[in-house]
Amino acid sequence: MLRLALSLLLLFAFKAQAEEVVLGLSRDNVSISTSFNGDEILIFGAIKRQEPIPEDGPIQVIITVAGPDQPLTVRRKEKRFGIWVNTEAVEIDAAPSFYSIATSAPLAEAINDTEDLRHQITIPRAIRSVGAPMQIENAQPFAEAVIRIRENSGAYQLRENTVTLTQSTLFHTAIQMPADLTEGQYPTRIFLTRNGQVLDMYETGIDVRKVGLERWLYTLSRQQPLLYGLMSLAIAIAAGWGASTAFRMMRSG
**Domain residue spans of the chain:** 17-67+95-210, 211-253
pLDDT for the residue numbered 29: 67
Q: What is the distance of C-alpha 253 from the center of its chain?
A: 53
Reduced to 3 states (helix: H, G, I; strand: E, B; else coil), residue 235 is helix
Average pLDDT over residues 67-89: 73
Q: What is the DSSP string of 7-39?
A: HHHHHHHHHHH-EEEEEEES-SEEEE-TT---E
Residue 123 has pLDDT above 60, yes or no: yes
Fold for 17-67+95-210, please state it: Immunoglobulin-like (2.60.40)
Reduced to 3 states (helix: H, G, I; strand: E, B; else coil), residue 85 is strand
- Cα–Cα dist 72/95, whole Å: 7
Q: pLDDT, tens digit, for every residue of 210-245?
A: 654 555 455 555 566 666 566 666 777 776 776 667
Residue 31 has pLDDT above 50, yes or no: yes
Q: pLDDT, tens digit, for every residue of 61-71?
A: 999 999 998 88
pLDDT for the residue numbered 136: 55
- Cα–Cα dist 82/68, whole Å: 38
Average pLDDT over residues 95-114: 94
Higher pLDDT, 213 or 27: 27
Higher pLDDT, 78 or 130: 78
Average predicted confidence (pLDDT) for the chain: 77
Angle at 158 between CA 157 and CA 160, to 5 degrees: 145
**Which band of pLDDT confidence, cut at 50, 70 and 90, is reported for residue 12?**
very low
Q: pLDDT, tens digit, for every residue of 109-120?
A: 999 999 999 999
pLDDT for the residue numbered 160: 96
Cβ distance 137 to 131 under 8 Å?
A: no
